[in-house]
Structures are given as structure tokens and as C-alpha cells.
Amino acid sequence: MRYAFLVAWREFGENVKTKGFWIGIFIFPLMIWLSFSVGGLIEKTKSVRHYVLVDQSGELEEPIHAAMERLHQREVLAAFGKWVQKNSQESRASITAEQLEKMPAVDVEEQATKWAGDNPELLDEFLGKGGLDVVMKEVRPKLKDGAGEFTPPRQSFQEVPLPEGIDRELPPAELAEALKPYLRGERSIRVDGEEVELFAAVIVPEDIFARAVKPPMVTLPGSEKLGIQYWSVNLADEDLKDEVERAANDEFRRTEYESELGDKASVVKRVQRTHLPFAALDPKKEAGEEAVSIADKIRQWAPIGFVYLLWIAIFTIAQMLLNNTIEEKSNRIIEVLLSSVTPGELMMGKLGGIAAVGLTMIGAWIVSLVGILQLKAGQEAEIAGELLKVLKTSGLLSAFVVYFVLGYLLYAGVFLAIGSLCNTLKEAQNMMGPIMIVMIVPLMTMMFIPKEPNGTLATVLSWIPLYTPFVMMNRAAADPPVFDRVGTLILLIVTTLTVLWLSGRIFRIGILRTGQPPKFMELVRWVKAG
């Protein structure tokens, strides 16, 4: 064992001196930091989207303008809420884990959007009474000293007039053709003395209400241009499109109600905006505390991050073991080492040394994760503080360490056997193809398993040892049956020991072998002969 320890120490020392190791140490916290910070940075640097609105009917221009103004005010209110939270004397970072377990899992931004959509008159009334100025006077005493002034975000979408030379009375088809060079970026429009690109164009035909689709009518394929036309090359950002479509349909329905019901239209409108209260409850909780909390939500989805981290860690460290083995074999360093130690000691030393490298890297990642969550809690990343509290109390970190060690040993045994059989990285890459196909399955299924953690797919994959570390890590928050937890763990341990034993038989003969990699039956003879 002394010689195996010396080999392990040598492997550890050689790998921690490499640039790749230190890049791996620092790249993860950098990615985590950016993931919490880049959202706010993108919002601050997001360019204003300019659009033109041509309403030839004269019926929808005002409702669309009102809808876009409400959209902006919702953005202002959301930004104001975050600003108040950041500068509040009572930071959310002071919330205890027990309080977090009882805090309802409510999406505040979603609720604010729904409220503004269901109560546009109340939003207009709020703004008419002073809006943020009134609220600011109420919250100012609760803010930290030196909080400064709140700067409202600029409008995400800004309407601009038609470019010069384009007649708004043109037929919709000709109007669209005239605007296409501006939409494609071939030409720009001048706004406040600056040249800007046109993000979108909305064209409303003159007889749009006559083209309405009413039951039992259906919209047929190819008839899209008969209605309101929304032109844009950006297919990912649909906020403007959704707002225009919602405003247009709401206005049309309002006119329909008034024409059909007269004075009763306001009653229908009020009824449409009513809703029943709805609560998500967990039957596993004690009476009186059944409401799904923020901690429950985080605990349910946090394992996905651990699965991804587990996959990266195992693949990176096992790949490091493979490369080191092939490099030493091709440079004949292996022959020098085997003159002083046995193949078994060399293999154990390599496994232990690279495992120490992996644990060091994982430890640095976890420490940096905790540190970043501490720094970010209550600031740019509102969810960071809650996530940190959940990690401290959920047991996910301990499960992660257990499955990392077993998963690493399982895959390391396979990679080490491949490394002992190959003389070059090219040969190893050919043999790694099937392994990579196997390893990609946990990534493909990690988003589906939390939705049905005890379903057939999750249960079956849990009992396949190659997938057990990833799938059981993903199921950790769902409290899988004891039989699954204990049974899959025992099977994983037995499989890992078996793979290491087989790898040792192959490593003992293959590490000194040169020439073409052996055939499968030759490997079987090696195992039997061992």
C-alpha cells in the first residue's frame, strides 16, 4: 500500500501543477457568478426595440398604445420591487431555514403580470394617483441610508413613425414589401437624430373586424396574411407580438360584447376577470403547513444542477485518467514505474491520485458555490439565498459526494482499462464512442425525471449501474422508496467493485502491450487467465 500511496501522490502532484487543473478550478465559480449576474447585466444593456404600427382600421391603435404603456409600467414596478429589496433594511438573507420552509412558493413577477392584466383600470388609477412617487414616500423610511434614487428602466419597445417615402395607405401587401429592407437591416430609420434598426412592423388591415374568425369558423393554413400582420426577423423575442395580439383581441371582444349585450357588456367583462383562489399543497407535510414553499420548489429542482455537475466532474476526471495512462504508456514511463511497483499498486495509485484531484476540484467548486451564494443572497440573484439555505438542510451535498465517488470509480475503471489497451489518443477515441453514447443518456433525461421521479423511466434507469449515480441524484429530492435507495446503492457498489476487478485483470496485461488493441475474445482470455 505504501507504493500505491506514492504513486497516488505522484499522480496528484503532477495533475495539480497543470494549467488545465487550475482552469477547471476557476472556470466553475466564474460560470456560477456570471449566471447570477448576467441576467441583470443583459437587462441593463438590452437595446430598445423599435417598431412601426400601421392601423388602417383606426380601431386598434389606441388599445395597443395603452397595452404597451401597461407593459412598460409592469417592468418599472418589477424593477422597483427589486431595487427596494436590494436596499431594504431587512434583507431576505436574514430569513431562517424554518421560515423558508413556510414561505409560499409564489412567483411574484407572474402574479404582478396577472394582476395588471386582470385589473388594467386599477393600474391606470395607481399611476394616475402618483404611482411610484407615492410609493417611494412610503418605503423610503424602510430603506438603508444612502440608498440613492430609483432609476426606472427605459422602455423595451418604442414606436417610431413610418420611414419617409412610405405611404401608410398602401395595401398591406405593398406596405410590407416596402418595410422589408428596414426589417432585414438593409436600411435604417432615423430616430432622435440617430440611425436605428427596425425590430418589427405591425400592419392592421382596414377591415380587420370583418375578417374575425368566429365559431364554428377555423383559421385555415395559408390565410395568415388576411389578419393582423406582425413582421420581424427576431423569432425568439415574442413579447411585442404577444402584447399586440392580446390588446387587439381584447378590444375586438369588447366591441362584440357591447354590440351584442349593450349595457350588460360591463358585467361580462367583470365576470371574465374573476377567478377562484388556487393553492398548491403537499400531502406529506404536517397539518397547517401543507402549502408548497419556496424551499420545496428549490429542493425539487436543485438536483438537476447536481446531476449536471456530477456528469461534468466524472467525465472530466475520468478523461484525465485516460489521457495520463495513454501518455505514460506511449512515452514508456509505465515501464519505469513497473520496475518499482506491481501493476495492482500502480492501478490503485492512479485511481487514488486522480480521485484526490477530482475531490479537490469538487471541493473547490462547492466552497466557491457556497461563497457566491452568500455574496449574492438578497442582491442580484434573489433565489441564491434560498438555494443556499436549502443546500445546508436537504442532504443533497452528502448524496452528491457519495455518488461522485462511486460514479468516478465505476467509470474510472472502464477508462483505465481502455487506456491500458490503447497506444494513442486516436485509438482511445474510437473505443470511447460507445461509452459517450451511454453517458449522454443521463443528460437527455435529467429534465424529465423530476417531473415523475418514481415513474417507470426513473425506476428502470436507477437499477442500471452506469446510470445509478446520475438518476438517483436526480431523484434525491423526491424521497424515493427505501428499497430503491438501498438496493440501487448496493448494486452500484457491487458493480463498481466488479468493474475495478475486471479492469485490474486487463490493466495487468494490457499496460505493457504494444501494437493493435486486442479483440473482445482476447480480453476474455486475459480475464480468465488472471
- For 296-328, how does the pLDDT look when each residue is reduced to its tens digit (9 = 90+)? 666 666 777 777 777 877 777 777 777 777 777
Amino acid occupying residue 392: K
Residue 341 CA: distances (Å) to CA of 16, 203, 337, 357, 500? 23, 80, 6, 21, 18
- CA nearest neighbour of 469 among 443, 447, 448: 443
Residue whose cell numbers read 436605428: 196
Q: How many residues does the chain have?
A: 530
Break the chain into its structural domains and give their ranges. Answer: 2-30+289-529, 48-272
Query: Which of these ranges, 7-11, 189-193, 314-318, 381-385, has the smallest mean pLDDT?
Result: 381-385
Tens-place pLDDT, residues 93-150: 444 445 545 555 555 445 545 545 555 655 665 566 566 676 777 777 777 777 777 8
Percent of the chain at pLDDT > 90 equals 12
pLDDT for res 50: 92
pLDDT for res 53: 94
Q: How far apart are CA 415 and CA 334, in angstroms?
A: 17
Do residues 197 and 185 lie in contact, with contact meaning Cβ atoms separated by under 8 Å? yes
pLDDT for res 232: 93
List beta partners, residue 88: 143
- Overall pTM > 0.85: no
Q: Compute the chain's Rg from CA coordinates.
A: 31
pLDDT band of residue 65 (cuts 50, 70, 90) is: very high
Query: Which of these ranges, 55-64, 225-234, 389-398, has the smallest mean pLDDT?
Result: 389-398
Tens-place pLDDT, residues 240-277: 999 999 999 988 988 888 888 887 777 877 777 676 77
List beta partners, residue 157: 49
Q: How far apart are CA 474 and CA 298, in angstroms?
A: 13
46 sits in the region (left: phi over 0; alpha: psi -120 to 50; else beta) called beta
* Angle (nearest 5°) at CA 484 between 501 and 316: 50
pLDDT for res 244: 92
Residue 303 CA: distances (Å) to CA of 35, 323, 359, 492? 17, 30, 19, 19
Scored b (16 or more CB within 10 A) or e, 280-298 reads eeeeeeeeeeebbbbbbbb
Q: How far apart are CA 163 and CA 179, in angstroms?
A: 8
**Backbone φ, ψ for residue 20 (5° rounding):** -60, -35
Tens-place pLDDT, residues 365-418: 777 776 776 665 544 444 555 565 666 666 677 787 788 888 888 888 888 788
In the DSSP assignment, the letter for residue 147 is -
Residue whose cell numbers read 423511466: 457
> Would you give the distance in Å from CA 20 to the centre of its chain?
26
Do residues 57 and 208 lie in contact, with contact meaning Cβ atoms separated by under 8 Å? yes
Render 165-190 in DSSP notation, one character per residue.
T--TTS-HHHHHHHHHHHHTTSS-EE
Do residues 232 and 239 lie in contact, with contact meaning Cβ atoms separated by under 8 Å? no
pLDDT at 193 over 70: yes
pLDDT for res 52: 93
In the DSSP assignment, the letter for residue 277 is -
Do residues 144 and 37 lie in contact, with contact meaning Cβ atoms separated by under 8 Å? no
Which set of grid coordinates corresponds to residue 8? 497516488
Q: How far apart are CA 364 and CA 21, in angstroms?
A: 11
pLDDT at 69 over 80: yes
Interstrand relation of 157-159 and 189-191 (parallel, antiparallel or unpaired): unpaired
